[in-house]
Amino acid sequence: MSNLAQPSSDQNAVSYDHIVEAAHGEGLIVMGALHPRRTDAKQLDTGTLVLLGAGGDFWRALKASPEWGAPDPVDRWSTRVIGGMAQKLGAEVYFPFGGPPYAPFIDWALKSGRTFSSPVGALVHDTVGMMISYRGALHFTDEFDIPNTTGQSPCTTCDAPCTRTCPVGALNAQEFYDVSACHSHLDTSQGQTCMTGGCLARLACPLSAGAARTSEQSAHHMRSFHPS
């Protein structure tokens, strides 16, 4: 899904730091940026793409929003807030929901140099670990400076607790994700630990603490993933 916003009067003032500041003001963080022309990103071939995700203040902002209590509050909030940012900054907006077709967020994330494939196949980010929640992306016509990244996965220096933590081995390198095993476990009394606190394998990633997720937020996402 995309929407070409009308450029605002201060579009020429847009910079990476400006976008970071605007994102923080909404409870979001910049989770990566790339130049599609230089990275051979899918679907896009010009300008600058900035990936936005849930930050430490996201849950507070969501619960205080008009979307809270309505169906699909996270997607509705993302549509309004990131759509508004696109309008103000003069960008085209993409969301990871609303398809098919879906925008290629996994490809964009991997080509940003800040997200990688973990030993269990799930994505891992350099600051929020495996608690990744991309909420949208802003595509700007111009190429502007973005931070350089090392492109080195944090998993190369980790002893991979994510591979040993899932009680039923649902996240694993062989199958990546055994959905049936996960859902069956969540229906048991033992699975309530995951339902109320979040996926144990994802939480085991040392970097996941950087997402600053509360148990309440994790429980909300788990209920959305596996309704009772």
Q: What are 65-91's pLDDT values in tens digits?
A: 999 999 999 999 999 999 999 999 999
For 95-141, the pLDDT digits (tens) are: 999 999 999 999 999 999 999 999 999 999 999 999 999 999 999 99
Element holding 138 (H helix, E strand): strand 134-140
pLDDT of residue 104: 98
- Tokens in use for 227? 């309704």
Q: Show the DSSP H helices in the chain as ranges.
A: 16-24, 36-39, 58-63, 73-89, 105-111, 162-165, 179-186, 192-197, 200-204, 215-225
pLDDT(12) > 70? no
Q: Any residues with CB less than 8 A from the CB of 21 and at least 6 apart, and which?
A: none
For 107-116, the pLDDT digits (tens) are: 999 999 999 9
Amino acid at 31: M
pTM of structure: 0.92
Domain ranges of the chain: 2-144, 155-225
